[in-house]
Structure 1
Amino acid sequence: MLKNIISKLILNKDLSNLELNFLFNKIINAEINENLISAILTLISRNGYNYKNILVASKILRKKLIKVKVPKNSIDTCGTGGDGKHTLNVSTAAAIVLAGLGVNVVKHGNRSITSKCGSADVLEKLGINILDNKKNLEKKIKKDKFIFLFAPNYHLTMKNVANVRKNLPFKTIFNLLGPLINPGLIKRQIIGIFDKKLLVPYINVLKSLGHKKVWVFHSNEGLDEISIFNKTKVYELNNKKIKSFIINPKSIIKKKYNFKSILGKDAEYNSKKIVEIFNGKHNAFLEIVALNAAAGLVISEKESNLKKAYYKTKSYLLSGNAIEKINQLIK
């Protein structure tokens, strides 16, 4: 069966659900060698991702994950990564902002794979324990409103593809699976996607997985964040209904900023930039974090209007009070 599936992939033919289940189980369970896994992931990447292969793969991994008990209204800000822009850790900073404003945030993430600095890297550099055990984290979410779920600790089978992913010079389908396999099995998310062509299949996957309220977005300049520089296309899932709209930052943010000002470096540099804006330093990074956190307020239904939510998140950051949240998480 495997040879037949590989032949179909080479010819760019659609695989059935049965074939996809067989294939992804073989990959995830390490029943085939790394060279073959690498070739298969390369073919899938070349052929393009679609609703069917994302859904099948995510369902397999969701069955295998170690589940964490979290409040029902929790939110995640984990995006797909892989946009190649090497920006500062916007979604991670936005997650801490949301927690500071009373939203339960179950942040799912990993160390850097396709970027210079992953969410785990920057949180660790900030002094936050990224390796805390499950029991402690289930208590902490109630007290601190924020926990970080380090992906390798909850997806033990993913170690079987870790080396392959590290060695491939491009993003794979596993980039797309990260936000879909949060161990808290949360129902509310803001998710940046690295390719605008994937917005429609991705929002439909989230619908099939039973999510309640989600924004999936991609900006015109290719960011997997809501941009402060250019328009961002958003697809919203809200109680099984899907709609799309455009966020034009010019209608919210009056000042123009340079894209280079949000470029990141290593974990030490990125963590310093987070501390700066949490102490109230007003710059482009503060603005983009405020805007993305504002989307989180809308998704968590703390606010109904993005502009109003943005004023709230920006005011919170400018006050300098946000640094208290980081200090609390470090303790």
Structure 2
Amino acid sequence: MSEKELVQYTKKLLVSPEDPSILTPTELHDAIVMIMNLLKKLGTNGVGGVPNDVTQMPLLIKIASFLTALRTSGLDHKAEYIAEAAKAVLEFSRLVDLPQQKPQYNILDIVGTGGDGQNTFNVSTSAAIVASGIPHLKICKHGGKASTSNSGAGDLIGKLGCDIAKVTPTSVPQLWNDNDFLFLLAPYFHDGMSLMAPLRKVLGIPTIFNVLGPLLHPVDHVNKRVLGVYSHDLGEEYVKAAAMVYPQSEIFVVWGNVGLDEVSPIGKTTVWHFKRDQQYEQDNFQKFDIEPSMFGIQEHSLQDCISLGPEANAHILRDEILSGKHKLGDNHPIYDYILLNTAVLYCLAVGNHDWKTGIEMAEASIQSGSALKSLQHFIDSVQNL
């Protein structure tokens, strides 16, 4: 494909939504593949570097125009388009090659799109660690570093003492069997997203790439997923997109009604649930609300669950939460926040809505020391690579 074809695709985004000539999901897939191939040919100054040739500017302007028109059209928040974009990016990813064997137990991920602007504690990563201390659960957490907050998953894991640069597509198989918690830092697996990073930074507006992260897990063994979105309007489309990308997974898409891309410690959280009936080959979608009282815990304001930065968050998580200094009933905001999100992971894994049992299992993981042991074992395993 040529730059001229990209311009034609951009024009297809400028027509009325009812116009039959509007850009199709398949054309979006082809456009993203073309964009990444063109950026790959241009070359950059290292991973995430900035193109250094002024003659490249016309092409970069055309790519920026396409992404801006796509955002303006609203198609980038439609299920079929999100799914095709994710599939295009995965064509440029380095996926993990693991034996295709039936897992002994459920393998989960919990990750949000980001972009909610709330800057809360690293609850998804914390919940992943705690859940990994529950028997028969394996968590393969996929995430990045901070973009819209002051502490991303990768920042926290690094401050906890893990040399995450050693966790690569080639080393994950060495870590897989002996760890119930693994963390995969996205940039080491997704060359296509790295190619896009400089342009996205200069562009300065949200694009379709802002919502793709949770749909790009490089390990296809994951069969249960909690995916957070930053807006209610995105939720229903996102669960449909996730079902297209991960048809064999059971999925919760969550949105905290206070404006949070995870299960909220205050007020209601809306959950969109996808599960495929393998016997009848039928896709089942449900929608329901949950709130802290259903889990038997007190509500806490977002301000009480604020992120203090990677180093402080790591200290709180390791030395206060995982060490068992707090317990259920103390009404400690961050402790309860982590229990809440862990309980949702657990209930998805076991296939029920017994939220209070989920809380009990989460607390048992912490108080028994299993969660901390799981984290430390992963850190040590990475160190020994």
TM surpasses 0.5: yes
Kept in 2, the 8 Å contact 1:74–1:187? The answer is yes
Aligned partners of 2:169 and 2:26: how far apart in 1? 34
Deviation for aligned residue 1:100: 1.6
Match of 2:180 in 1: 145
Match 1:106 to one of 140, 156, 161: 140
Match of 2:323 in 1: 279
Kept in 1, the 8 Å contact 2:251–2:273? The answer is yes
Aligned partners of 1:111 and 1:28: how far apart in 2? 22
Kept in 2, the 8 Å contact 1:303–1:309? The answer is no
Question: Is residue 2:55 matched to residue 1:29?
Answer: no
Aligned partners of 1:172 and 1:295: how far apart in 2? 29
Aligned partners of 2:203 and 2:314: how far apart in 1? 27
Secondary structure in 2 aligned to 1:77? strand
Aligned partners of 2:294 and 2:304: how far apart in 1? 21
Q: What is the CA deviation profile of residues 116-164 of structure 1, one whole-angstrom value per residue up to 9, with x for unaligned ones?
A: 2211111011111212233432132211112222212211122210112
Query: Cα–Cα, structure 1 residues 82 and 134, in superposed 2: closer, same or farther, change >3 Å?
Result: same
Secondary structure in 1 aligned to 2:145? coil
Match of 2:8 in 1: 4
Kept in 2, the 8 Å contact 1:17–1:52? The answer is yes
Q: TM-score, normalised by structure 2?
A: 0.79
Deviates more, 1:273-282 or 1:199-208: 273-282
Deviation for aligned residue 1:107: 1.1
Q: Which amino acid aligns with 2:259?
A: G
Q: Number of aligned pairs?
A: 331
Match of 2:295 in 1: 252
How does 1:74-89 map onto structure 2 within 5 Å? 74-89=107-122
Q: Which amino acid aligns with 1:322?
A: A
Aligned partners of 1:33 and 1:78: how far apart in 2? 33
Query: Cα–Cα, structure 1 residues 268 and 94, in superposed 2: closer, same or farther, change >3 Å?
Result: same
Query: Cα–Cα, structure 1 residues 33 and 130, in superposed 2: closer, same or farther, change >3 Å?
Result: farther
Deviation for aligned residue 1:295: 1.4
Kept in 2, the 8 Å contact 1:294–1:313? The answer is yes
Query: Cα–Cα, structure 1 residues 16 and 254, in superposed 2: closer, same or farther, change >3 Å?
Result: closer
Q: TM-score, normalised by structure 1?
A: 0.91
Question: Is residue 2:234 matched to residue 1:198?
Answer: yes
Give the RMSD, CA atoms, in angstroms. Answer: 2.2
- Report which of the two structures shows the higher radius of gyration computed on alpha carbons: 2
Query: Cα–Cα, structure 1 residues 140 and 93, in superposed 2: closer, same or farther, change >3 Å?
Result: same
Aligned partners of 1:25 and 1:264: how far apart in 2? 36
Aligned partners of 1:169 and 1:279: how far apart in 2? 41
Give the share of equivalent positions with the same residue, in percent: 29
Aligned partners of 1:37 and 1:114: how far apart in 2? 23
Kept in 2, the 8 Å contact 1:229–1:257? The answer is yes
Secondary structure in 2 aligned to 1:143? coil
Deviation for aligned residue 1:43: 2.8
Aligned partners of 1:314 and 1:297: how far apart in 2? 12
Q: Which amino acid aligns with 1:78?
A: V
Deviation for aligned residue 1:182: 0.4
How does 1:19-168 map onto structure 2 within 5 Å? 19-31=27-39, 33-48=59-74, 49-69=77-97, 72=103, 73-102=106-135, 103-131=137-165, 132-168=167-203
Aligned partners of 2:79 and 2:299: how far apart in 1? 37
Aligned partners of 1:69 and 1:125: how far apart in 2? 28
Aligned partners of 2:151 and 2:206: how far apart in 1? 15
Query: Cα–Cα, structure 1 residues 46 and 281, in superposed 2: closer, same or farther, change >3 Å?
Result: farther
Deviation for aligned residue 1:301: 1.8
